[in-house]
Structure 1
Amino acid sequence: MRSYGKPVRQWRFAFISDKKDKPKSVVLEEPALSIILRHAADKEPQDFIFPFLRQAHYKTMTESELSDAIGIKINYIDKVLKRVATYLEIPKNLTIYAARHTFAEHLFELTENV
């Protein structure tokens, strides 16, 4: 991509689709890019970006233990999102699942493929 004759660096978010095990990527725009870069500093490629699980601890977990730990964090984040929605008088139920679903919808709108 070029802007006014000068090259523009693009950052992409790459992931594997759960349903078809197919690689995907999306261009990251501001402000998402600045949030991810701030949290990605000093991380290894296999690490989680956001610090919800302690790095040293999750690396020794079984798959079942990791799934349980992630579930606990998702429940906590859902409770926080509910308080945010109440405070901001948002009539919809905000959840991590809804955010993921919304992300998938936007990805489909951009690529016509999820």
Structure 2
Amino acid sequence: MSAGLTVVGAGAVLRDRELENEVAGIWDDVLRHIEDVLAGAEHGYENILSLANPSIEEIVKSISKIDDLLNQILDGTVGGKSLDIEVELKLNDCQQCVHLIRRVHIALKHDNQDEYDDVIRKLTNHQ
């Protein structure tokens, strides 16, 4: 078995180390955005929109680019190879975090503190 081949059951998946490194970088970016959201949340629900830096809108704009890339990788548009299970699970985890960050924005936009508190708790536990 070569270093670039992972065997799962009766199937084999060709590993793409470059893509795996890219996914690790994406994960680091997502974690940084979670940290930004949680840092803003330290100002409290009433002040996050006015005091958070970067703003939640800036964070959502940035994660939208990440989400597009995640979808391209998962769809096979980028890399064009089958993903190793660990990589695919990490990408799925990244997408879940992106959606949680979007939920923070939605909760703030609709002035729903219960939703906001729930999502902040989930992001805090996700780190």
User: TM class, shorter-chain normalised?
Assistant: 0.3 to 0.5
Q: TM-score, normalised by structure 1?
A: 0.33
Bigger helix fraction: 2
Q: TM-score, normalised by structure 2?
A: 0.30
Higher RCO (C-alpha under 8 Å, 6+ residues apart):
2
